[in-house]
A and B are shown apart, each in its own frame.
Chain A
Amino acid sequence: MLNLILKRIAAAFFVFIGATFFTYGMMMFAPGDAALEIAIARYGGHDRVDGATIEWIKKKEGLDKPFLYQYCHWLKRVVVLDLGISLVREEPVWQLIYTRFARTFELALSAIVIALLIAVPIGILGGVKQGSWMDSMGVTIAVIGVSMPNYWLGLVLIILFSVKLKLLPVFGYGDWRHMVMPAITLGTALTAYTTRILRSAIIETLQSDYLIALRARGISNRLVLGKHILKNALIPVVTVVGLEFGMILEGAVITETVFAWPGIGDLMVTAVSDRDYPLIQGLVLFTAMVFVLINFLVDVVYRYLDPRIRLS
């Protein structure tokens, strides 16, 4: 087990190096003069920038040094969470990400709770009563849920609840009423996805030989379901919820744009529109690292839950 964790950490470190390399390299190969872009972003407008300023920025930011030197220099700062200063907002990038991430996390968590609350009962019911009308309805709704663009769902919700029924505020961050529509928007695809996974996991478990053996020994259906099927079927659900973190994050970018939710996705959109290089780099690196961390945790939990893997 210890060896395995060490191996995983080594792999995660490799991903960290690779991810930082790409995030940094991408800026180097960006078209245009980086120093000029920085100057324009900082002093607002082409005409306020002269050659001397550009030279000064080049020196100060180390842009005249070779790529590998710059990269190592940058990496050294990244390790101590110094991601630089946002060009437009003139605040430390790490602080911006940190405060915004809390709000995204809040949103993501409520989406996951919604997803589990709906997906677990429907998935179990569908899997156990495979082929019933409830199951086929669940399957149909789930496939529609997976296929629906979530920003469109957000717009439809706004039309319905804010424009027609006037029940909920259109956008913004505040009390629970602001949370309802973004959480549903973000949670729908996740719900649909989890339902599908859980249903097929239950069906697969039901077909296994040991369950037939249990039934043959006359153990009641309810006990079989509670003790054996769920335990086995929940393992893939844990994995999926963990692994689909990327999906949640992508969903968050879009949902936050639709509802003007001041989270990390909203920050990303504005950073890209402003061409705020340090902020874009910081955000990309941050999401990648959170993804790696969550993958790592899921892997450990998964191994703990599944004795077949734990033992081998």
Chain B
Amino acid sequence: MSIRATNLLVPVISVILGLLVGAIVMLVSGYDPIVGYTALWNGIFGDLYTIGETIRQITPYILAGLAVAFAFRSGLFNIGVEGQLIVGWFAAAYVGVAVELPKIIHLPLAILAAAAAGALWGFVPGLLKAKFHVHEVIVTIMMNYIALHTTNALIKTVSDGGDRTESIFLSASLRSEFFQNLTDFSRLHYGILIALAMVAVMWFILEKTTLGFELKAVGFNHNASEYAGMNVNKNVILAMVISGAFAGLAGSMEALGTFEYVSSKGGFTGIGFDGIAVALLGMNTPLGVIFGATLFGSLKYGALNMPNAAGIPLEIVEIVIAVIIFFVASGYIIRLFLLRAAKKKEAK
């Protein structure tokens, strides 16, 4: 079996194992897995409305996945997507509320604000990594909490002590009448087009520019890159900034598309952490991220139907996702298994 085929098989097997474990958990706790997964399926593809909502859910997952994948390709682990997403969400909503401008200026401005906020939040760990060799994992985790508490405080200030901002002006909204009519008035918005465009942008940066070449080189071996005359520090910072910008954009999807406001949060949205799963499953390639985001976005949205239709707590899907991450991360053992199976076949 070729290496390429095994690489593709690892995510597929992981997903199957994840769903299998989910079925076993349901069975053991006294639910019918078939009823459960049927409810999940209907929650994803049941009718036009649910399909629209599913695609809406996939949108931020694509961007969060891109953020994690982009950093991974440069040899960095960005666990801070969650925090970058939160500050992006706030920045976009703030611009959406604070001023009223013609749509052609207002909407891009709000989106850019989100990207800039996310980029700033990515810049800090990037800078610390480059200048002080501080591991980015810990800094980004800490930045997540700083983002959470800071935006909550800012929301309080902006809304005069309230828990959420006003709804944004229509001129900053991504709302799409076309998509709404198409999908039986779901909240599907133009953001999906932005997300898909960003997939192309990431592919272009990585495959067609000198910057992308350098970023990947630094990811493979930063000593060799330095020896070849590349500025490793600059590339590390840039990788985190671009990754943060993707994450910030994911936040703007929630701010300008789905919710059209920002409210203070007791905990994380989870989209950033699921972005890690999306990127891993997509093997950190732009196209793979679309598949990963589609799978996890669908599972997440479809799960909402499970309590009503089958009486099963929706957390079962979170369990499935966690198990999938676990198996993708343990790819070594799956590869070993596949290798042995292939050898046995040859021996026969």
User: Is chain B found bound to chain A in the same assembly?
Assistant: no
